[in-house]
């Protein structure tokens, strides 16, 4: 026992020296990063006095941790502990706490992360975006170097390898080889799912198609329907079936079940043949063409329209073009987690700056593709611990097979974007934030003004959205000309939207007064239990017109081309 205790203390002493050395590497890294980013060209990288104080505090914490772990090893209560941030479950397994070696190792890592974060705040920065860039890079470095990600420092890996007599190591290597061949990390058992067989199964048919999209009309589920149909425009950055995963969590099926004749734009997953398409092409051949077909097919003057994420940006832009042409074809507009004001775009905006965009414009701006893999990696590293390192640990270190999960199957089914479209979008929306300014942008040959859109609008944002910050989505109440109802859902960008009414989970917040700023709005908002779907359905009924007999799919001009979900959504990016 004494020998084992001496060995543990010797290991801990070495580990402490190693981890303390990390502060020097962290300082060098942040100084080098600030110079490369042009953040500290005119100022010292770190204030010497601030750095000295930070180093002293770090050493004091390390010594307190060291003494606490030794005391715990001798049966005494710990006097100092470093706990992960709320929601961080990387060190929840008992193996991280049973051994003094790994107990110290994971807490020392957390101390180093704290030190790195505090150092970032001490570095000079010219503006908020520069500071956010440093925070993002520091977090990526800290997440990548976590002891959970390496076999030698992960006790869960060692325990499982011993229990399985090395089989978990073999399985992990095989998982790694398969993922290397695919070129991406497996997040789910993809063999379980097939688009059109057990996901995206709401009955309907493609009634129109062009180079950009297929238009799906869904079969009615009620004897009577609202006279005004509903056109849905999902994001083109992902596949539409996030809105139609399984029957019990399908927003599309819910829309139909509420007595709506639902049409949906299914964007094409572009190949090199579509690499020339630009923003105007997506407006003209997407929502503008779809609205024309829907009105002609259903013989109505006005329809209701809904856009999700960038689909909402595209839809609103198209409506502004139609408005400039004298066409008021939409009676009500619903926007789900949509940006119209790009002042604060969250961490996605950190990937888009003048230098990076100029490079993109030079390579794919006149033709070519922004690959699906680039987009998927960008979104994954916004939540690296959940969408990257979690699977590194489970798939490769533990040799586990990912569980079947429909949402993660969708998340892995990414889409390409035409280069001209992507560059125009990043330039004029993310970088210049021109859409919010009346008359600044010309689209499809006309100047647009979102303030001229006077139809009633339902705006949904989600409280934990890391892609569309809810405060930015709230700014749409200042831009659009119609009466706005703003609703704030719980959870994030996807889970907050795909929140089935039948499961009665989560909450949403309502407040009819949208004249205040976002913080004041939330402070006065009432929390409602359950899904926002029911609130939206009640609102939509007010703008849907009288009841009529359910419509059949298509007509003599727009005949069914193929069953839903159509072939466009089944095309995978290569």
Cα–Cα distance between 366 and 374 in angstroms, integer? 18
Integer Cα distance of 459 and 456 in angstroms: 10
Q: Residue 90: which of 135, 146, 16, 26 has the closest Cα?
A: 146
Q: E strands, 101-221, where?
A: 204-209, 213-218
Measured CA angle at 306 (ends 304, 310), to 5 deg: 150
Q: How far apart are CA 193 and CA 496, in angstroms?
A: 23
> Which whole-number Å values give the CA distances from 215 to 290, 294, 314, 476, 554, in the listed order?
7, 9, 16, 27, 11
- Per DSSP, 15 falls in state H
Cα(474)–Cα(477) distance, integer angstroms: 6
Q: Which two tokens stand for residue 197?
A: 């067989």
Q: What's the rounded Cα separation, in Å, for the pair 527 and 535? A: 12
Contacts of 407 (CB under 8 A, 6+ apart): 242, 245, 494, 498
Eight-class DSSP state of 393: I
Phi, psi of 550 (to 5 degrees): -60, 145
In whole angstroms, how far apart are CA 567 and each of 71, 192, 234?
A: 65, 19, 16
The closest of 241, 245, 215 to 230, measured between CA atoms, is 215
Is 236 marked active-site? no
| Backbone torsions φ then ψ of 101, nearest 5 degrees | -65, -55
Tokens 């700056």 belong to 353
Active-site hit among 309, 423, 444, 484: 309
- Read off the tokens for 274: 């579509």
Helices and strands per DSSP (H, E), number in the chain? 21, 17
Asked if 399 and 171 touch (Cβ cutoff 8 Å), the reply is yes
Instruction: Give the active site residues.
Output: 309
């Amino acid at each position: 026992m004494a020998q084992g205790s001496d060995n543990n203390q010797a290991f801990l002493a070495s580990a402490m020296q190693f981890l303390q050395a990390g502060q020097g590497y962290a300082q060098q890294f942040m100084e080098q990063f600030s110079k490369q980013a042009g953040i500290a060209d005119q100022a010292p990288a770190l204030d010497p006095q601030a750095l000295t104080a930070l180093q002293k505090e770090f050493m004091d914490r390390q010594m307190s941790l060291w003494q606490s772990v030794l005391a715990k090893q001798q049966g005494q209560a710990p006097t100092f502990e470093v706990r992960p941030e709320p929601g961080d479950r990387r060190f929840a397994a008992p193996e991280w706490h049973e051994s003094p070696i790994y107990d110290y190792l994971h807490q020392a890592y957390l101390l180093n992360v704290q030190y790195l974060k505090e150092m970032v705040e001490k570095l000079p920065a010219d503006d908020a975006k520069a500071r956010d860039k440093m925070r993002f890079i520091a977090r990526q470095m800290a997440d990548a170097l976590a002891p959970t990600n390496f076999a030698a420092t992960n006790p869960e890996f060692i325990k499982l390898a011993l229990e399985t007599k090395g089989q978990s190591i073999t399985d992990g290597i095989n998982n790694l080889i398969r993922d290397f061949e695919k070129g991406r990390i497996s997040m789910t058992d993809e063999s379980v799912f097939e688009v059109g067989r057990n996901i995206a199964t709401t009955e309907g048919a493609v009634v129109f198609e062009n180079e950009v999209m297929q238009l799906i009309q869904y079969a009615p589920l009620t004897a009577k329907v609202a006279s005004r149909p509903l056109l849905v425009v999902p994001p083109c950055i992902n596949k539409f079936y996030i809105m139609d995963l399984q029957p019990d969590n399908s927003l599309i099926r819910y829309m139909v079940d509420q007595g709506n004749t639902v049409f949906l734009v299914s964007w094409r997953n572009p190949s090199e043949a579509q690499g020339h398409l630009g923003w105007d092409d997506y407006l003209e051949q997407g929502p503008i063409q779809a609205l024309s077909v829907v009105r002609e097919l259903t013989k109505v003057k006005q329809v209701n329209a809904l856009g999700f994420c960038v689909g909402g940006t595209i839809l609103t832009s198209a409506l502004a073009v139609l408005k400039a042409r004298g066409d008021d074809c939409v009676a009500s507009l619903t926007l789900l987690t949509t940006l119209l004001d790009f002042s604060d775009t969250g961490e996605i905006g950190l990937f888009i700056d003048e230098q990076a965009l100029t490079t993109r414009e030079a390579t794919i701006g006149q033709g070519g593709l922004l690959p699906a893999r680039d987009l998927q990696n960008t979104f994954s590293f916004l939540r690296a611990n959940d969408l990257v390192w979690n699977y590194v640990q489970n798939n490769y270190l533990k040799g586990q097979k990912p569980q079947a999960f429909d949402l993660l199957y969708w998340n892995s089914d990414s889409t390409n974007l035409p280069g001209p479209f992507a560059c125009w979008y990043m330039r004029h929306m993310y970088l210049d934030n021109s859409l919010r300014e009346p008359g600044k942008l010309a689209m499809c040959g006309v100047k647009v003004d979102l303030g001229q859109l006077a139809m009633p609008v339902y705006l949904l944002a989600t409280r934990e959205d890391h892609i569309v910050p809810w405060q930015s989505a709230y700014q749409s109440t200042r831009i659009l000309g119609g009466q706005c109802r703003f609703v704030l859902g719980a959870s994030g960008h996807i889970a907050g939207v795909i929140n089935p009414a039948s499961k009665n989970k989560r909450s949403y917040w309502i407040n009819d007064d949208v004249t205040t700023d976002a913080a004041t709005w939330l402070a006065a908002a009432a929390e409602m239990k359950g899904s926002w779907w029911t609130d939206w359905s009640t609102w939509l009924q007010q703008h849907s017109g009288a009841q009529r007999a359910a419509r059949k799919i298509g007509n003599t001009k727009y005949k069914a081309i193929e069953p839903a979900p159509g072939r466009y959504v089944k095309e995978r990016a290569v």
